[in-house]
Amino acid sequence: MSITPPKAPLRLGVNIDHVATVRNARGGAYPDPLRAAKLAEAAGADGITAHLREDRRHISDADIEALVAGLSVPLNFEMAATEEMQAIALRHKPHAVCIVPEKREERTTEGGLEVAKDENRLAHFIAPLREAGSRVSIFIAADSAQIEAASRIGAQVIELHTGAYCDAHAEGDFAARDAELARLTEMATYADSLGLEVHAGHGLTFDTVAPVAALPEVVELNIGHFIIAEAIFMGLEPAIAQMRALMEAARSG
Ligand code: PXP
């Protein structure tokens, strides 16, 4: 009789970018992203994720300063691989840095980073961030060439982009959804075999989180837009508690 080893605990990083989006729709000071982050902490978030975009469309430099000073849980600082962002990360030394691709015209981070095409530059880019003590994560598609490149440049973590899986679910194309999930499953195992820590995120909802949470190699999910959207109807703490409960149920099932 074979005994299945227990799965590693699964952390939830709550992305608070869209609290800042609502604030910036009017200008002014509310809703305050730090207040949302503290509520998320109280509701059981293991970390807070914030993306300082080059165009500052949601999170601002002052928000990052307030989060660094005010959070009790780790900050996962998402950023593009630019000199400006590197300098900001080196100044704040967040617990984790997640390198994402960024296009000004996009509404959200559309795809994963093309690590394989930019290996040399990225290796030099992340080295000082690691030396400063931040865990470096690379946001990539579930693709073996990207995973191998992320490993070669010295990233400790990869975050697998779950957007295609979630989009296929939302469109009702369940064959495509299941194919995307199979790809995520295979690539999570592959990345883990190379010694990379595996995270996942983008577009996850109450309906799509369970199969990703059940992947044994995935140890962190980063979820933002749906939680903040759901908070309008049920409140932030219940939305986080429900997401956590779904994650835990999938993990132990
Ligand atoms: N992970 C990364 C790297 C992201 O860029 C984002 C979106 O900012 C997320 C997770 C969260 O995605 P969503 O807001 O769709 O849950």
Ligand 1, atom 3, residue with closest C-alpha: 139
Pocket, ligand 1, Cβ cutoff 6 A: 15, 17, 51, 78, 98, 100, 108-109, 139, 159, 201-204, 222-226
Phi, psi of 113 (to 5 degrees): -75, 140
| Alpha carbon distance 50, 76 (integer Å) | 7
Angle between helices 33-42 and 61-70 (to 10 degrees): 30
Residue 153 region by backbone torsions, left for phi larger than 0, else alpha for psi between -120 and 50, else beta: alpha
pLDDT at 239: 98
Provide, rounded to the nearest whole percent, the portion of the chain with pLDDT above 70: 98
pLDDT band, residue 110 (cuts 50/70/90): confident
How far away, in angstroms, is 201 Cα from ligand 1 center? 6
Ligand 1, atom 6, residue with closest C-alpha: 202
Q: Residue 55, class by beta-carbon neighbours within 10 Å (0-12 exposed, 13-18 middle, 19+ buried)?
A: exposed
Angstrom CA distances, 214 to 41, 47, 75, 114, 160, stand at 23, 19, 24, 27, 14
pTM across the whole model: 0.96
Name the residue type at position 242: Q
How far away, in angstroms, is 1 Cα from ligand 1 center? 40
Is residue 247 within 8 Å of residue 213, measured between CB atoms? yes
Phi, psi of 188 (to 5 degrees): -65, -40
pLDDT band, residue 193 (cuts 50/70/90): very high
Provide, rounded to the nearest whole percent, the portion of the chain with pLDDT above 90: 92
What ligand 1 atom has the least distance to the C-alpha of 17? Answer: 8
pLDDT band, residue 1 (cuts 50/70/90): low
| Full 3-state SS string of the chain | CCCCCCCCCCEEEEECHHHHHHHHHHCCCCCCHHHHHHHHHHCCCCEEEEECCCCCCCCCHHHHHHHHHHCCCCEEEEECCCHHHHHHHHHHCCCEEEECCCCCCCCCCCCCCCCHHHHHHHHHHHHHHHHCCCEEEEEECCCHHHHHHHHHHCCCEEEEECHHHHHHHHCCCHHHHHHHHHHHHHHHHHHHHCCCEEEEECCCCCCCHHHHHCCCCEEEEEECHHHHHHHHHHCHHHHHHHHHHHHHHHHHC
Other CB atoms within 10 A of residue 52 CB: 22
Residue from 62, 67, 65 nearest 16 by CA: 67
Q: Of 4 and 232, which is predicted with more confidence?
A: 232
Indicate the top mutation candidate among 75, 108, 115, 221 to test ligand 1's pocket, ranked by most ligand atoms within 8 A of CB.
108
How far away, in angstroms, is 3 Cα from ligand 1 center? 35
User: Sign of the CA dihedral 85, 90, 91, 95?
Assistant: positive
Q: Match domain 11-252 to its CATH number in 3.40.718.10, 3.40.50.150, 3.20.20.70, 3.40.30.10.
A: 3.20.20.70
pLDDT at 209: 98
| Alpha carbon distance 233, 42 (integer Å) | 19
How far away, in angstroms, is 183 Cα from ligand 1 center? 19
What ligand 1 atom has the least distance to the C-alpha of 18? Answer: 14
